[in-house]
Structure 1
Amino acid sequence: MSEVVHPPESVYNLIPRDEVHTQKPPRYISKFRPTVILEKKLAKDAMRTMGPAKVEVPSPEKYLKKHSKEPKLLESEYFYRQYGQRIRAKPAVPARTDNPPMGIHTKRDFIKTTAMVPMKPQPTSVDTNKGHKQRLETSGLVPKYIKKKDYGEVPEYLLQRNEEERRAQEEYNNFVKEQKEQAAMKHLSDEERQAVLEGLKKNWDKLHHEYQGLSLVTDTKSKKAHKERLEVAMNQLENDISFFERFKTIYIPNN
């Protein structure tokens, strides 16, 4: 037996509580419900009686007779011979003005053509000593490709490919030429070379004047670094001045 579990005793359990009634939402009803009910009733009423549907019973007088299901010909397609036999009539004799039928081949025509014109043997080639043979046309021994009208001509797709390659090479050459023109060296005239030389000398004089104004004692790192920077800059300017004085023809890039 299962034991009854009582809730823990508390003063708050003695206070009456209001019952909370949850209101359920209305049940979903499809809008096609009346249509489905009507269709079900119609289908149910159709099979209300057990068994197959009632059909008209054939009359005893209309019993199945012999040859009644065979295709029947018209009365004009029959003619009668003796003894009452019913035989299909032959077609009427064509008139003199009627055109004869064309393109009809009979068995007699086939025998006549085959007997009059014998079949020609197909040319074959034997390629082994055991008698293996194959058709001469598909063996590759017949020079049928050299007799074509377009034999020896370059195909259209190769011409198109060559044209595309030539156009791409031409565009690449033009691009390289433009790059070379952009990266070409510019020749300095004597006036420009002299102006540059004077500017370098002025910069050297300015740095030299600043260098002469330094203190003789370089007891700090900042003074020592400043003196070294001035010496490096002056040495670079001296090299540039000697370069411009030694060479009369100088080229510089356009960039």
Structure 2
Amino acid sequence: ASRSSRPVWPVGLQAQSRSSARPAAAMYAPDNHCESIYQILPPKPIVVPRPERYKNKIPDYAPTASTFHPTGTSHPHSSNMAGEAVGKVVSDRGHASFGRPVGHYANDATVYLKKMQKSSSVPSLAEVKKTNPDALVPSQLKEPSRFVGGGGPPKRGERPVMNLVTTKNFVVANAVETILAAPKKLPNPVKDYLKKEDYGKVPKYLHKVKRDIAGEEEYIRMLQASGEPEEQFRPLSEEERLSMLDGLKAKWEQVNTAYQATTHLTKLDTIGKLKRKEKY
């Protein structure tokens, strides 16, 4: 009866009633997430307020089980294990921290290295001549030559030495000297080992090695000769022989008794009999 009393809506009206329950942005946004006019404007950012800085209510006591100690001290690796309100075991030193905050090591754009800031400029030659002419005087003079300290070139009116004539034929003289000259001995770059002084002989170090080996062998022979020879075999006395025979007979009797007691058993109905049988 309840089903018959429920009104039956057309298919188109049912789809329209379901779509009216959605929000407007979702209604116009297609299912394949394409561009929609409701998604053009970005949402406003949510600013989360920053909480206040935490400040401990307890005074500045030394931290419990602190491991911040400088190396090379006689203190243990951790201090204030009991949590007592005492000062630091090792006092803080200057610049002994985790470093400056981020951004404090950046260079200052207004402070930069300028030209000739850490060195002086080289003065010019004119300035040196005016201020310090003694620095240009050479400390050591060269030997006098024809042009410097030797009188200079000949004067204009000075006559040269005349009638200096030779009859030597330099072409023929050079040819004769070249023919009669001994050839130059070039050094041999390849070393000839066949012409060595010790070629074909036993090297000296081998004689030394042989002497060392002979000395070691002689020392070993002396040690062996000085030591007393140990007795490897000795005859048994009559008492030792009889005691050994008695021991062997007693052992044989024990083994034979155990063997005769178990070797004829054919019915092994207990674990003990089975174990004793396995021994023989």
What TM-score do the two structures reach when normalised by structure 2?
Answer: 0.30
Q: Which structure's relative contact order is higher, taking Cα pairs within 8 Å and 6+ residues apart?
A: 1
Comparing both structures, which one devotes a greater share of its residues to helix? Answer: 1
Comparing both structures, which one devotes a greater share of its residues to strand? Answer: 1
